[in-house]
Amino acid sequence: MQNARLTRDDVARAALRILDELGLPDLTMRRLAAELNVRPSALYWHFPNKQTLLADLADRIVTRRHPAESASGWDGRLRAEAFVLRDALLAYRDSAEIVSSSLALGLGENPAHARLRQALDSSPFDAESADRAATTMLHFLLGHVSLEQQRLQYDSLGARSGEPVTLESHEGDFRFGVDILIAGLRDRASADSPAPS
């Protein structure tokens, strides 16, 4: 590929392939440049450093799946969106770590939070409470998927004893956590509602 024709999308797509095949530790700028048949300096026209590349990947990962639209009510939409985002994260190796680090550094657009927040648009919460609810769900989501991805990786390496973990075995735990959070939000909404006069 000619350096002059290399685009930001070319770099990101190649990075996602390396991430999926080899994992985050092997996603280096040098390896990425070799994959694209360019010098590492050519990558810096598109991404000034590796962390900005990872932030772009984080945004791409969580926006690859379309938002949940079929659910009704703010609680149904929030629940559906949490599952859509979990699926998006599980589609790429080490994705929860990438999204978490970008979030911690304040890089990227943070579309995961935006999607969860949008699901709460019709909720009875004020803007600050809705933001906090979306943040809480996102933190649970990232923590849960990170643990899932680590266990799957350890199983693939034979580092854990016992039966291998499957994604299906974690889905019940994830569903329980999401349902508990939403039940708490419903209770909070009821408690904040003015009593009928």
How far apart are the C-alpha atoms of 85 and 58, rounded to whole Å? 12
75 and 41 within one domain: no
Q: Are 29 and 56 in contact (CB under 8 A)?
A: no
Structure tokens at 113: 């939070």
* pLDDT value, residue 120: 95
Tens digits of pLDDT across the chain (197 residues): 445 589 999 999 999 999 999 999 999 999 999 999 999 999 999 999 999 999 999 999 999 887 767 778 999 999 999 999 999 999 999 999 999 999 999 998 999 999 999 999 999 999 999 999 999 999 999 999 999 898 877 666 665 666 665 656 679 999 999 999 999 999 998 887 654 44
155 and 115 within one domain: yes
Structure tokens at 111: 């579309």
* pLDDT value, residue 192: 74
121 and 28 within one domain: no
124 and 77 within one domain: yes
Q: Which of 65, 101, 99, 94 is nearest to 82 (CA)?
A: 65
Structure tokens at 71: 């659910």
Domain range for 20: 3-48
- Does residue 54 belong to any structural domain of this protein? no
* pLDDT value, residue 194: 58
Helices (H), the chain: 8-22, 29-36, 40-43, 50-63, 73-90, 95-105, 111-119, 127-157, 167-192
72 and 39 within one domain: no
For the full predicted model, state whether its pTM sits above 0.75.
Answer: yes
40 and 71 within one domain: no
Structure tokens at 145: 């998927």
83 and 147 within one domain: yes
33 and 114 within one domain: no
* pLDDT value, residue 2: 45
104 and 36 within one domain: no
